[in-house]
Amino acid sequence: MKPRQVAALLLAATTAVMVTRTATATDPAPEPPTETNAGVMLGVTLGILAPAFHGSDAWSSPPTLGTGPTLGVSAGYRWRFLYIGAAYQHAFLGGGSWEAPSSEYYVENTLWARADYIGLDVMAITDSEALIAATFRVAAGYRFLAYSSDVVDSGTAASTTSSVDWDLTLLAVGVQIHGGAVRVIPEVSLGIGDLFPYVSAEVTTYLDWGSMR
């Protein structure tokens, strides 16, 4: 090969190497793995339930239900901002007294009461990946109520009654506090049911498997 041909080949090889290095240097760096925006969530709830109930017929329904603490568990699946799951709640309700109208005066006492709820939750999170976000939840299920009552000076022993009927959480509004795999959501809610309407305040701590990947 002539010197000119050798020089041309060397120049071409050098240019190819330089172009390859330049292209490699300008390639964008790979993006770090992002948090999976979906997954199973398990929750534990502590709260307080205030029934808005005053019996109109103390012989067939609890005369008074008092405010009491609640304990619950939940499990479901979150896909981005939408969560759907199942929930169970036990309420340790207080008692009280109810006075019948003066025409048939008597006093009946609720000695103790408890309620168990099981149902489905649907919750929306305005920004599931934000540190702070608003949440909105509705729920539907059944509530089981048991209570013991007696009539003052009636000479009869206290009786225990139980019943079950539908229950709806019309709206629960809360605030999500998101830190890694944990979501803490304090909220207040308004509910109705065939047994009694109520208001409640509670705090749920969720473990989010989707945020652990």
Helix (H) or strand (E) holding 16: helix 3-26
Rounded CA separation 152/136 (Å): 44
CATH topology of domain 38-211: Porin (2.40.160)
pTM of the model: 0.75
Query: Per-residue confidence at 3, pLDDT binned at 50, 70, 90?
Result: low
- For the stretch 100-158, pLDDT in tens is 665 566 677 888 899 999 999 999 999 999 999 999 999 999 999 998 877 776 666 67
**Most confident by average pLDDT, 16-30, 79-93, 140-154:** 79-93
Residue of 3, 52, 41, 7 whose CA lies nearest to 190: 52
The overall average pLDDT reported for the chain is 81
- For the stretch 189-205, pLDDT in tens is 999 988 888 899 999 99
For the chain, the domains span: 38-211
Mean pLDDT check: name the lowest of 90-94, 108-112, 171-175: 108-112
CB 140 within 8 A of CB 159: no
Exposure letters 43-79 (e unless 16+ CB within 10 A, then b): bebebebbbebebeebeebbbbbbebebebebebebe
